[in-house]
């Protein structure tokens, strides 16, 4: 008899094969959390070099105190949608604070960054309209496109000329076009060529959305992301982002100067049909947003750590991405070698993420590390030593 799970047979076979090469890979549990940068993994203290805790705020005392106060005063959850009983004063305050910080007219807070993309893309652009997205965009962007049933075309990663070619083809169509890019790309940590993208989108009268998930708190004079760093905030119609990285919590948002942004609330299924963020999450996010603005030294420390790791891996001849960033990824063609490096790092007390195709941009395996402002100089030295140790253990990693 047929089983509903038959379609997963290929997946099961792949998993079994991968387990043979590296059974630890499927059984990673953070058994005890010591701090934002350290946990007990497989019974041993391990430095976390794979989280997106860029400013190290998940353990900040102000954020923790704010969350504890909120949970005591307002309970563990809102138990309702933003459209019903789930809008508390804190949600509105955070929306005001985000709009003010980004210097935009309005902001909407969503339950996660994934939901923010799902909500914005599925609502803004529908059947008969067009989305042009960078091929390396995050899965949540692709899923938002699917949910809205817009016509979707991908342009080559970080290639404004390819974008222009596609916009030119659409020129005679009387329809809305939304271009989507990310600030820092989540896998390789490379920046989008935003100045060029903004110039192209302006020339063709398209709209532009930038997902600053990995660049909020990381890029720009005040941490607003790549659009701020590149000086093109005026050219970005919608900024989306998440609270789950630099802000150390969970949640998502969109800010915009389009006065109609508020309409999304009424038309968006991912906004209406899910519970709103719990009060403690909103409270810690508000505290984190204040710290992000007040303590630029965190961004400076983050970049010192980012440059140190990038330069170390480059000097060790690993095939790293095109530019230094808090995301430092090594590309590897060979799965066995990727597993060996990943296990070797773990044995040396360092956890990084191993990302396998098809989740990677170009079909290679990725050893994706990320650093935090909270990594101490000693921890950074241990991370660098671990990479040096595994580099000596394995065959010479080939530049891809």
Ligand X SMILES: Cc1ncc(COP(=O)(O)O)c(C=O)c1O
Sketch the per residue contact string, 21 through 60, with ligand X: x for CB under 6 A, - otherwise. Answer: ----------------------------------------
Sketch the per residue contact string, 98 through 117, with ligand X: x for CB under 6 A, - otherwise. Answer: --------------xxx--x
Which residue has the CB atom at the shortest distance from ligand X?
113
Decide if 375 is catalytic. no
Q: Does 211 bind ligand X (CB under 6 A)?
A: yes
Which residue in 91, 138, 201, 214 is the catalytic one?
A: 214
Q: Does 375 bind ligand X (CB under 6 A)?
A: no
CB of 185 to ligand X, least distance (A): 8
Q: Is 305 within 8 Å of 95 (Cβ atoms)?
A: no
Instruction: Report the distance separating Cα 143 and Cα 119, nearest Å.
Output: 10
Q: Give the binding-site size for ligand X (rule: CB under 6 A).
A: 14
Q: Does 238 bind ligand X (CB under 6 A)?
A: no
Decide if 245 is catalytic. yes
Which residue in 186, 244, 278, 370 is the catalytic one?
A: 186
Q: Does 312 bind ligand X (CB under 6 A)?
A: no
Q: Does 213 bind ligand X (CB under 6 A)?
A: yes
CB of 214 to ligand X, least distance (A): 6
Write out the binding residues for ligand X, residues 173-202 only, by CB under 6 A.
182, 186
Q: Which stretch binds ligand X (CB under 6 A): 68-76, 210-218, 223-231, 324-332?
A: 210-218
Q: Does 274 bind ligand X (CB under 6 A)?
A: no
- With respect to ligand X, which residue has the nearer C-beta, 106 or 112? 112
Instruction: Report the distance separating Cα 151 and Cα 145, nearest Å.
Output: 8
Instruction: Report the distance separating Cα 366 and Cα 356, nearest Å.
Output: 6
Which residue in 91, 138, 245, 375 is the catalytic one?
A: 245
Decide if 186 is catalytic. yes
Instruction: Report the distance separating Cα 373 and Cα 40, nearest Å.
Output: 20
Q: Which of 140, 158, 325, 372 touches ligand X (CB under 6 A)?
A: 140
Just list the catalytic residues: 186, 214, 245
User: Which stretches of the chain bind ligand X, using CB under 6 A?
Assistant: 112-114, 117, 138, 140, 182, 186, 211, 213-214, 242, 244, 252
């Amino acid at each position: 008899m047929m089983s509903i799970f038959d379609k997963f047979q290929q997946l099961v076979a792949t998993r079994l094969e991968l387990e043979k090469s590296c059974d630890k890979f499927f059984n990673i549990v953070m058994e005890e959390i010591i701090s934002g940068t350290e946990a007990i993994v497989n019974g041993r203290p391990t430095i976390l070099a794979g989280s997106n805790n860029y400013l190290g705020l998940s353990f900040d005392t102000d954020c923790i105190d704010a969350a504890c106060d909120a949970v005591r005063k307002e309970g563990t959850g809102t138990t309702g949608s933003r459209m019903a009983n789930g809008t508390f004063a804190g949600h509105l305050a955070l929306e005001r604070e985000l709009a003010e910080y980004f210097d935009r007219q309005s902001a909407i807070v969503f339950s996660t960054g994934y939901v923010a993309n799902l909500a914005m893309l599925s609502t803004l652009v529908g059947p008969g309209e067009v989305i042009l997205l960078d091929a390396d965009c995050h899965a949540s962007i692709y899923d938002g496109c699917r949910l809205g049933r817009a016509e979707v075309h991908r342009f080559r990663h970080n290639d404004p000329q390819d974008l222009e070619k596609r916009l030119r083809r659409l020129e005679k169509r009387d329809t809305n076009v939304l271009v989507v890019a990310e600030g820092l790309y989540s896998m390789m940590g490379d920046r989008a060529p935003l100045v060029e993208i903004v110039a192209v989108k302006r020339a063709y009268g398209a709209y532009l959305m930038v997902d600053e998930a990995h660049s909020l708190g990381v890029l720009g004079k005040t941490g607003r992301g790549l659009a701020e760093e590149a000086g093109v905030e005026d050219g970005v119609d919608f900024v989306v982002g998440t609270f789950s990285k630099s802000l150390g919590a969970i949640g998502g948002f969109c800010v915009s100067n389009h006065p109609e942004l508020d309409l999304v609330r009424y038309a968006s299924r991912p906004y209406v049909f899910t519970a709103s963020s719990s009060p403690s999450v909103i409270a810690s996010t508000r505290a984190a947003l204040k710290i992000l603005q007040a303590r630029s030294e965190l961004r400076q420390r983050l970049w010192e750590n980012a440059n140190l790791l990038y330069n170390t891996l480059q000097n060790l001849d690993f095939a790293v991405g095109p530019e230094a960033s808090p995301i430092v990824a090594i590309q590897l063609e060979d799965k066995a070698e990727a597993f060996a490096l990943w296990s070797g790092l773990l044995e040396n007390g360092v956890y990084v993420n191993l990302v396998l195709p098809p989740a990677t941009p170009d079909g290679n395996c990725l050893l994706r590390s990320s650093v935090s402002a909270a990594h101490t100089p000693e921890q950074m030295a241990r991370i660098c030593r671990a990479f040096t140790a595994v580099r000596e253990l394995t065959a010479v990693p080939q530049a891809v």
